[in-house]
Amino acid sequence: MDARLIQGQSQRLILSPQIRQYLRLLQMPITELAQAVDAELTENPLLEEKPEPRNDELTGTEASSEAPERPGGAEELRLGESFGDTDQLDPSLWQGSEYGDTVGSDTRELQRQQDFRQSLLTKPEALSDYLLWQVRFLDLEDADAKIATEIVGNIDEQGYLRSTVEEIVKACAASKEAVEKVLKIVQGLEPPGIAARDLPEALLLQLERMSPPPTIAIDIVRDHLPLLEKRNWSQLTKVLAVNIAEVRKAAELIIHLEPRPGRSFYVEQPIAITPDAAITISGQDQEKIKVHIHNEKIPELRINSYYRRLLKEKGTDAKTREFLKEKLQAALNFMKAISQRRSTLRDITEEIVKAQPDFFDKGFSHLKPLRLKDIADNLGIHESTVSRALQGKYVTTPQGTISYKSLFSTKLQTVSGDTESQKSIMEKIRKVLDKEDPEKPLSDQDLVKLLKGDGIIVARRTVAKYRDLLKILPSHLRRKR
């Protein structure tokens, strides 16, 4: 073995920085894109935001709700193309302040006000903090207090203890008896059911606090919870030797218990969805479906005129000139990438509208089979580009605000030779089960027969999979006896 230099030829796909930037911006939802624009405005001194025109400057067409979009943007520059002579650029890109991106006089005041508002925000109390606060009021020895702190530290946000007694024994170097004793004390804290190790224990801890203790409900939770899940009232009356009224009363009590004791301290933060586009239907004519790409959050950009003059001045040193050229090229590429992102998203949305006209008027039951490849072939772009453009994005439709990906569905063959989308079949299953007799719920095999009557042939396991996706229980658990 020895070190040698060997020449070889190979073919590789290498994306230019401009293409990489375009693909990165294409994948961003509109909220992330707005943040990326703000970051670029901060990093590139040649970029600035166009000020909004005053009311007295708006004409009738300029004040319209949406200005016409130009596929090429304000500056027709292909990705990767050099700018050449700056005199050839669109003059609108250069309109700016005389001294570049100067900081406004009220910036510090705005920052001070923002800092003050943030200081008023309070952090919600966590479950562990509340439990530790209660532990401090307990008359515990140091060793027991250490065990209690260890137990609280292993309680998850739902209120369940996620460590075994043996693990706590090892962590605290204590005996098993001491850990179990302290665990009972912690389980007596608020909220009821805290530090349970499973659902039955959480329910039992809540029932045992009631006065007088509901013995029938306790027996059901301790020994016969599977019968309650199946609502098998007749079997419960036999094993408990009580009448059905008492069983139903106990079941009603159990149903109203809290299965997640820490729920009141765990609040899921709502996810704010900002749609990237809106699809509307004007009148009864489906051909009047309009597509609007939301650009309101994205500021209109331009090149600062001060740096243009600085770049053209003969007295500018070579190092400064090279820096300005580099930033100018980056600014033009960035604006071009944003323009192409908008154009690509509009083209894809319009193709979806052409492929799914009935959906926007009648809903998911009329959703047709559609693949990303179908859109890509119609537009002459790669399938991965369509996937990037729709990733994590939402659109407002007459059927509500939905994700772009929910408009796509695989196809199944029908008896007549037509195709039916998977989601339209799931919608049919959901509507059938909504109208079923609760005392005689339809089985998966019954659903197969009903779908076959509509010309749709699917296997029973496929129906079961669709039912699970709809989060609908099987027939024996839906039956109301």
393 has a pLDDT exceeding 60: yes
**Which amino acid is it at 415?**
V
Q: Domain check: are 363 and 242 in the same one?
A: no
Asked which of 213-227, 267-281, 300-314 is least confident by mean pLDDT, the reply is 267-281
18 is written with which tokens? 């401009």
102 has a pLDDT exceeding 50: no
- Residue whose structure tokens are 């796509």: 408
Q: Mark which of 213, 231, 265 sits at the end of a domain.
A: 265
413 has a pLDDT exceeding 70: no
**Which of the four pLDDT bands, split at 50, 70 and 90, describes residue 122?**
low
Give the CATH number, domain containing residue 434. Answer: 1.10.10.60
CA distance 269 to 265: 12
pLDDT tens string 454-468: 777 788 888 888 888
Note the pLDDT of residue 123.
Answer: 59
Task: Note the residue count of the chain.
Answer: 481
Query: Does residue 107 contact residue 128 with C-beta atoms inside 8 Å?
Result: no
Q: Domain check: are 261 and 349 in the same one?
A: no
Q: Helix, strand, or coil here: 421?
A: strand
77 has a pLDDT exceeding 50: no
89 has a pLDDT exceeding 70: no
Q: Domain check: are 201 and 145 in the same one?
A: yes
- Compare 15 and 244 and report the one with higher pLDDT: 244
pLDDT tens string 37-71: 999 999 999 888 887 765 554 444 444 444 444 33
Any domain includes 68: no
Give the CATH number, domain containing residue 224. Answer: 1.10.10.1330
Q: Domain check: are 353 and 430 in the same one?
A: no
Q: Mark which of 407, 437, 453 sits at the end of a domain.
A: 407
345 has a pLDDT exceeding 90: yes
What's the whole-model pTM score? 0.60
201 has a pLDDT exceeding 90: yes
79 has a pLDDT exceeding 60: no
Q: Domain check: are 259 and 166 in the same one?
A: yes
Any domain includes 216: yes
Q: Domain check: are 132 and 207 in the same one?
A: yes
Q: Domain check: are 140 and 245 in the same one?
A: yes
Note the pLDDT of residue 36.
Answer: 92
Any domain includes 327: no
Any domain includes 108: no
Phi and psi torsions of 161, nearest 5° = -80, 120
Query: Does residue 301 contact residue 36 with C-beta atoms inside 8 Å?
Result: no
- Compare 328 and 412 and report the one with higher pLDDT: 328
Any domain includes 362: yes
Kind of pairing, strands 277-281 and 400-403?
unpaired
Query: Does residue 389 contact residue 26 with C-beta atoms inside 8 Å?
Result: yes
Determine what percent of the chain is predicted with pLDDT higher than 90: 31
Q: Domain check: are 220 and 184 in the same one?
A: yes
Q: Mark which of 361, 378, 407 sits at the end of a domain.
A: 407
Counted domains in the chain: 3
CA gyration radius for the chain? 33
CA distance 412 to 410: 7
109 has a pLDDT exceeding 90: no
Q: Domain check: are 365 and 416 in the same one?
A: no
Q: Domain check: are 207 and 243 in the same one?
A: yes
Any domain includes 159: yes
Q: Domain check: are 469 and 371 in the same one?
A: no
pLDDT tens string 111-120: 666 665 555 5
Q: Is 411 exposed, middle or buried (0-12, 13-18, 19+ CB in 10 A)?
A: middle
* Residue 404 DSSP symbol: G
* Residue 354 DSSP symbol: H
360 is written with which tokens? 């926007």
Any domain includes 306: no
Determine what percent of the chain is predicted with pLDDT higher than 70: 80
Note the pLDDT of residue 62.
Answer: 42
Q: Is 23 exposed, middle or buried (0-12, 13-18, 19+ CB in 10 A)?
A: middle
Q: Domain check: are 376 and 455 in the same one?
A: no
CA distance 20 to 12: 16
Q: Which structural domain range is residue 419 located in?
A: 411-478
Query: Does residue 70 contact residue 329 with C-beta atoms inside 8 Å?
Result: no
Any domain includes 83: no
Note the pLDDT of residue 117.
Answer: 57
Note the pLDDT of residue 55.
Answer: 55
